Structure 1
C-alpha cells in the first residue's frame, strides 16, 4: 500500500523521461545527474580539420611552455650533515662536528626559504613563500636570474643522490660564469625542469 501511495503514476514517469530526452543535449537529466553534452561535443570534434587540430595543439604546447615550475624543497642533505655531526660528537671530535653541524643548519634554513623558479624565459633564485627578489649575487654580482638561452652546460652531482647543481652561463660575463648550488630541492623535479628548459646534461637523471 505504501509503495503504491508513493510511487509516481506511469504517465508521470513516461512524461519525465520524454522531457529528459527532449532536453538532454542542453540540460542535465534529473534521473542521472550528468550533463549530456558528449554527443554534440563528439560531433563538433569530428568536423574539426587537421589544420585546426594542429593549431589547437600548438596553442596548448605554448601554454605548457609558459608554465612556471618551482621544485619542492628537500631536506636530505641537511639531515645527512646533522647525522655526520652527531657521529663526530659521538667520536669526541668536536673540531669536525661544529663546522659540519653549522653547515647542516645553514642548508636547513636555506631549504625552507630559497626557491628555484623556472619561468618561461629564465631560471631565477627567489626567497620565501611570497617569492621575493633575492637581490644581487654576493659572489659574482648581478641579478640571480639567468636566461636559458645563455646556458652553456649544466650537471647534477651525483645523479643518484644529487648534492650539487652546476651550470655555466654567458649572461654574467661573455667568457662564461660558473655557478654551484647545493641541491636543497627535489632532485627529480630540478633535473626535469633543467632538461625541459636548458636541454640535456651529460649525466643521467637522479634515481
Structure 2
C-alpha cells in the first residue's frame, strides 16, 4: 500500500510536469502565431503606406511642369550703338552716325517692350508688360511661336558678348525657316534656357 502510494506520488508530479509543459508549449505556440500575424500585418501596412508614398512621389515627379522663363532685358547693345553714333557725330561723321543712331534708338525701344517667353513646349515672342500677343511675323508670316521639338539648330553670336541669336525651325515650313533676333535680353539667361528647352548649341555659352 505504501509502495503504491509512493509510486503514485512519483507519477503525478511527472504527469503534471508533462501537462504543464504541453500547456506552456501551446501558449508559446499560440502567442508566437499571434505575434507573427501581428508583425506580418504591420509589415503589410507599412509596405502598403510606403508603396502609396512611392507611387505618389513618382506621379508627383511626372506631373511636375517646367516653369515659364522670361529672360531679363539687357540694354548693352542699344547703348553701344547710341555711343557709337554719338562718337561719329562728335567727329562730324554725320552720314554714318544717323543710321547707327536710329538703329540704337529702335533697339532701345524694342528692349523695353519685346520679351522672349519660354513656356513648357514653345518659345513665343510677346510685347509689353502684360505680355500681349505679338501678332504675325512680318517677314515670314505665321505666329511668333515655335515649338522646341521643331528646332533644327540654334546659335548665339558671339558667346562672350552675344549680339544675335539664330535658330532654324521646321514649324513655319518643312524645309526649315531661319530666324535672327538681336540679343536685347540677358545673354546668360537666354543661353541657359535655350540649352534646357531646345538642346545644346554648337558653340559655348556666354562668359
> What is the TM-score of this pair, normalised by structure 1?
0.73
Q: Which residue of 1 aligns with 2:187?
A: 187
* Alignment check: 8 A CA contact 2:65 2:120 kept: no
Distance in structure 2 (CA, Å) of the matches to 1:194 and 1:93: 39
Q: Which residue of 2 aligns with 1:131?
A: 131
Q: Which residue of 2 aligns with 1:73?
A: 73
Distance in structure 1 (CA, Å) of the matches to 2:81 and 2:103: 7
The secondary structure found in structure 2 opposite 1:156 is: strand
Q: Which residue of 1 aligns with 2:84?
A: 84
Q: Which runs of 5+ in 1 are unaligned?
A: 1-46
Aligned length: 160
Aligned 1:31-46 pairs, distance under 5 A: none
Distance in structure 1 (CA, Å) of the matches to 2:156 and 2:51: 41
* Alignment check: 8 A CA contact 2:69 2:118 kept: yes
- After TM superposition, give the deviation of residue 64 of structure 1 in Å: 4.5
Inter-CA distance 164–48: structure 2 relative to 1 (3 Å threshold):
farther
Distance in structure 1 (CA, Å) of the matches to 2:198 and 2:57: 25
Q: Which residue of 1 aligns with 2:36?
A: none
Deviations 1:4-55 (A, max 9, x none): xxxxxxxxxxxxxxxxxxxxxxxxxxxxxxxxxxxxxxxxxxx974884475
Q: Which residue of 1 aligns with 2:57?
A: 56
- How well do the aligned residues superpose, as a CA RMSD in angstroms? 1.8
Aligned 1:1-207 pairs, distance under 5 A: 49=50, 52-53=53-54, 56=57, 59-60=60-61, 62-65=63-66, 67-207=67-207
Q: Which runs of 5+ in 2 are unaligned?
A: 1-47
Inter-CA distance 109–50: structure 2 relative to 1 (3 Å threshold):
farther
The secondary structure found in structure 1 opposite 2:64 is: helix
The secondary structure found in structure 2 opposite 1:100 is: helix
* Alignment check: 8 A CA contact 2:82 2:104 kept: yes
Deviations 1:57-105 (A, max 9, x none): 663464242x110111100000000110111012110001100000000
Distance in structure 1 (CA, Å) of the matches to 2:89 and 2:165: 29
